[in-house]
Amino acid sequence: MSDAVTLHGPRRIVCLTEEPTETLYALGEQDRIVGISGFTVRPPEARREKPKVSAFTSAKIGAILALRPDMAIGFSDIQADIAAELVRNGVEVWISNHRSVDGIVDYVRRLGALVGVPARANTYADSLQRGLDEVAARAATLPRRPRVYFEEWDDPPITGIRWVAELLRIAGGDDVFPELAAEPLAKQRILADAGEVVRRAPGIIIGSWCGKKFRPDRVAARPGWDAIPAVRDGELHEVKSPLILQPGPAALTDGVRALAAIVHGWSQRERARGRG
């Protein structure tokens, strides 16, 4: 069934985070967007075309209201204060709170339904799932799976969120802190003892320090970390945060493929080191 031609749903949307912007562009519904997050990089035309009115933990409420939105879309409890202020000013707000790969796929379907293009959204979501299945099928051919420490912030060290751990598994690796990945809040994923990374001995370290460049030299210089196999073998890698730390299409496409490239590269180098 095709989507109706008549325009349904909100017509003037402010995207407080990146994933609704990328999703609406992918669905061909970008004309509904009147404002975006200043962190938006995907697609690049969004950054050129749309006014930037929010960060992640703050927003220009006056600028948003001047755009006369009929809906604002954001993510997580971290944006609760922004949402409350907009609601007090008469703006309808949808704050999604999905934290898993399945949740991201479902988010695409829900957002599409919200703007009146459910068939198009289902087709797009199905294509995202097929891409994940293809990555998983290739990962199944690896002779063994590496143990991976994923760090999304360095001071204090914060481990990866649930969808990152799930994408690592799809890409062929295993998160060394699965019990922390299940925690929804960043403060619950702070490593109280960074020495635990040494004890868990990851073969790969991946950094995605939100908003700043990953520094593998600083990681390798941490006390005692020279004993970690990943440090010993030089397996410290970066995945840019816009690709993996926003719960939208980027993570399910370029993000998971970046993880898979690191895992498969490690596997090839392990064979060359006589360990594969």
Cα(138)–Cα(263) distance, integer angstroms: 11
pTM over 0.85: yes
- Determine the pLDDT at residue 4: 46
Of 265, 206, 203, 217, nearest to 239 (Cα)?
206
Residues in a beta bridge with 149: 205
Q: What is the pLDDT of residue 8?
A: 81
Q: What is the pLDDT of residue 211?
A: 81
The domain locations on the chain are: 13-131, 142-272
Q: Which CATH superfamily includes the segment(s) 142-272?
A: Nitrogenase molybdenum iron protein domain (3.40.50.1980)
Q: Which residues of the chain have a pLDDT value below 50?
A: 1, 4
Rounded to whole angstroms, the Cα distance separating 14 from 35 reads 5
Domain 13-131 identical in fold to domain 142-272: yes
Looking at residue 6, what is its pLDDT? 59
CATH 3.40.50.1980 fits 13-131, yes or no: yes
Enumerate residues 6+ apart whose C-beta is below 8 A from 196: none
pLDDT digits over 201-252, tens only?
Answer: 999 999 999 889 999 999 999 999 999 999 999 999 999 999 999 999 999 9
Could you tell me the CA-to-CA distances from 143 to 146, 167, 273 in Å, in that order?
Answer: 10, 19, 14
The secondary structure element, H or E, covering residue 14 is strand 13-15
Listed in sequence order, the DSSP H helices in 140-175 are 162-171
